[in-house]
A and B are shown apart, each in its own frame.
Chain A
Amino acid sequence: MKAVFRNVFSAVSRSLNPNPHSSIFLPTLRTFSSIILPPSPFPFRNNAFRLLSATSHSSSMAEDGTSSSVEKQFESFRCQLEESGGLRERVRAIAMEIESATRLMHANLLLVHQSRSVPEVLEKASSQIAVLKKLYNQLGVVLQECPGQYYRYHGEWRSETQTAVSLLTFMHWLETGIFLCILKPSRNLAVSLSTMLHFACHHKLSLGMNASDFGLDIEDYLIGVCFMSNELPRYVVNQVTAGDYDCPRKVLKFLTDLHAAFRMLNLRNDFLRKKFDGMKYDLRRVEEVYYDVKIRGLADKAEEVSYDIKIGARMIMGILQEMKEPINNRRVGKW
């Protein structure tokens, strides 16, 4: 047994002795200060194996210094992870509320396919904008508790934000005929979603916090825009069915410009790329509708009108007003 124990002792002492020349582990010297190497092996004669299994046990006298710092480390990990888990729960709760607000907005916006008037539809949908602003505000406040960790929790609200962007850009385009774009992105997420919401609902409020801490991710924005373009073919088809023959031209121009702008981007093979590829098909669909309308001469009347957008918009409004009239008063001759 003595020979066995000699091995034990030499193995243990070899592994406990820090190499004084190790420059990497400078901080570890402090942890070894409390190690007491037994001057003689005899107290442990019969407990060789038990000593070994106890070397990493916190109650071992020989290694209190190191193992208590290990224990402390894991204890602090537990606290930190519970904290971040709690934060994540709160973020998730807000994200779910954002999702239901966007769902309401979307449901209201869908009325535009049923040829309700644009202002009416927009008014209904806009009621959710204030809700969204409040929720994103809340999100920003929660995230202030963990500065710099925007992207750690970003996955929780990513898809909801993309949906929100798609709805807002669509609404903005419906209302004003122009594309809602954000001009100055920067590495610090300097684009605030509040700017977008602000722009969409004409209010002067800001999020009240440093935009560099919480803002709209550019990729989320671009993906949201792609989702918006997915709505356009359906919109154009339904507008033509309802009698608005100028719509295809406007939508085509808009989508062509948008697609051309997107082509400037160098995309890698990720989700954004897939969505951008989908935009091609949306554009094709809108082109087909425009073509159908044009060759049948349905759009001729509209094309003679001046292209000043104000007049064009007024015309659209007029057509939409007409659609509110009972169906037998419609221009039957167009078919």
Chain B
Amino acid sequence: MAPKPHRFPQVADTVLQSPPKRARTMATESSIKDAFANYTDYLNLLNEKRERVVKASRDITINSKKVIFQVHRISKNNKDEVLDKAVKDLASVTEQHVSRLVKELQGTDFWKLRRAYSPGVQEYVEAATLCNFCKNGTLLILDEINATLLPLSDPSHQPLQINILDYLLGLADLTGELMRLAIGRISDGELEYAEKICGFVRDIYRELTLLAPHMDDNTDMKTKMDTMLQSVMKIENACFSVHVRGSEYVQLPGSSDPSYLLLGMPDHEI
């Protein structure tokens, strides 16, 4: 077959000024190859970037989990040291791993690659809010988290800002950890701390019931809401049990340690 002489059209990015007859011109094999060479480059860049984002997200997840485990090591006596270490660890997660996301998620990539980094960011939000609650007793709001991320980017980059959806999903996971914390505190005898957690979790649940239906694709959130309700109920039931049985226990006069020992045997009447 003789090779055919062809012209190929210059396809501009926006306006195409070609006269109607231009459509009759042909694309050579080489122009298809050129186009596909471009597509190859584009897809290679995209996939490599996606890989880097997934790796960063995995590292963020693993290290945020370590922070959460650290917080769970709280007991009556070592609260401050444990929390200080947790806060420091969280800071290093921010500096070492979250910073890797800044360059990758510029422009439209922020939403394009969301599925790659969302689990990591959710875990990070969970760790940050847990630390904040244990240190300060309040909910770390999204603006505050995002403020801490501003120093990660230099002026040439768009700063990485966590979006509402990832924040809310992370918040939902937080309630699970708080449930564990509450049960742990009750075993340790700190009923009042547990009740504080209970109120806090109730509030989060209440607020999220209003927001969950409006989230982008709320299948994730729906399951998390169910789990959240289970967590709230577990805390409430635990507090209830201790509260009801607590009247059976005795306060040793002068000691600041309520002896909520799990023996269930009243020594004598109060």
| A positions within 8 Å CB-CB of B | 3-4, 6-8, 10-12, 14-16, 18-19, 22-28, 31-32, 48-49, 52-57, 63, 66-67, 69-70, 73-74, 77-78, 80-82, 84-85, 88, 148-152, 154, 172, 175-179, 181-192, 194-195, 198-200, 202, 204, 206-207, 210-211, 218-219, 222, 257-258, 261-262, 264-268, 307-309
Q: Which of A23, A73, A78 contacts B214 (CB 8 A)?
A: A78
> Which B residues are CB-close (under 8 A) to A184?
11, 13, 38
User: What is the bound-complex CA distance between A18 and B12, given in angstroms?
Assistant: 58
Determine whether the beta carbon of B11 is less than 8 Å from that of A265.
no
> Which A residues are CB-close (under 8 A) to B140?
25, 28
Residue of B nearest to A256 (CB): B29
10 further interface pairs, Cβ-Cβ under 8 Å (given A190-B13, A266-B47): A8-B192, A12-B196, A18-B136, A70-B139, A74-B211, A150-B108, A181-B35, A183-B10, A206-B16, A264-B33
Determine whether the beta carbon of B11 is less than 8 Å from that of A195.
yes
Q: From residue B217, how far is it (CB to closest CB) to chain A in Å?
A: 8
> Which A residues are CB-close (under 8 A) to B138?
28, 31, 56, 63, 66-67, 70
Taking CB atoms and an 8 Å cut-off, the chain B residues in 86-145 that contact chain A are 87, 90-91, 94, 107-112, 114, 132, 134-144
**7 closest A-B pairs (Cβ-Cβ)?**
A15-B137, A81-B214, A151-B111, A151-B112, A181-B35, A206-B15, A261-B36
Determine whether the beta carbon of A185 is less than 8 Å from that of B255.
no
Determine whether the beta carbon of A7 is less than 8 Å from that of B43.
no
Q: From residue B228, how far is it (CB to closest CB) to chain A in Å?
A: 15
Q: Which of A15, A152, A183 contacts B136 (CB 8 A)?
A: A15
Q: From residue A28, how far is it (CB to closest CB) to chain B in Å?
A: 6
List 16 A-B residue pairs with CB atoms under 8 Å apart, sorted by A's residue number: A7-B190, A27-B143, A28-B144, A49-B192, A55-B199, A84-B214, A88-B216, A148-B111, A176-B23, A185-B38, A195-B13, A198-B16, A218-B42, A219-B43, A262-B36, A265-B39
Q: From residue B136, how far is it (CB to closest CB) to chain A in Å?
A: 6
Contact mask for chain B residues 211-224; partner A; CB cutoff 8 A; 1 contact, 0 none: 10011100000000
Determine whether the beta carbon of B32 is less than 8 Å from that of A188.
no
User: What is the bound-complex CA distance between A266 and B51, given in angstroms?
Assistant: 14
Residue of A nearest to B14 (CB): A211
Determine whether the beta carbon of B164 is less than 8 Å from that of A80.
yes
Determine whether the beta carbon of A55 is less than 8 Å from that of B192.
no
| B positions within 8 Å CB-CB of A | 1-2, 4, 9-18, 20, 23-27, 29, 31-40, 42-45, 47, 79, 84, 87, 90-91, 94, 107-112, 114, 132, 134-144, 147-148, 164, 168, 190, 192-193, 195-196, 198-200, 203, 207, 210-211, 214-216, 251, 253-256, 258
> Which B residues are CB-close (under 8 A) to A307?
1-2, 4
Instruction: Name the prevailing secondary structure of the B interface residues.
Output: helix
User: What is the bound-complex CA distance between A7 and B255, given in angstroms?
Assistant: 10
> Which B residues are CB-close (under 8 A) to A308?
4
User: What is the bound-complex CA distance between A131 and B179, given in angstroms?
Assistant: 55
Q: From residue B39, how far is it (CB to closest CB) to chain A in Å?
A: 6
Residue of A nearest to B142 (CB): A73
User: What is the bound-complex CA distance between A218 and B37, given in angstroms?
Assistant: 13
Q: From residue A217, how far is it (CB to closest CB) to chain B in Å?
A: 9
User: What is the bound-complex CA distance between A268 and B207, given in angstroms?
Assistant: 40
> Which B residues are CB-close (under 8 A) to A176?
23-24, 26
Q: From residue B78, how far is it (CB to closest CB) to chain A in Å?
A: 13
Q: From residue B126, how far is it (CB to closest CB) to chain A in Å?
A: 15
User: What is the bound-complex CA distance between A151 and B87, given in angstroms?
Assistant: 34
Q: Which of B32, B91, B203 contacts A24 (CB 8 A)?
A: B91
Q: Which of B27, B141, B142, B203 contacts A181 (CB 8 A)?
A: B27
Determine whether the beta carbon of A16 is less than 8 Å from that of B43.
no
Q: From residue B165, how far is it (CB to closest CB) to chain A in Å?
A: 9
Q: Which of A22, A48, A56, A262 contacts B192 (CB 8 A)?
A: A48
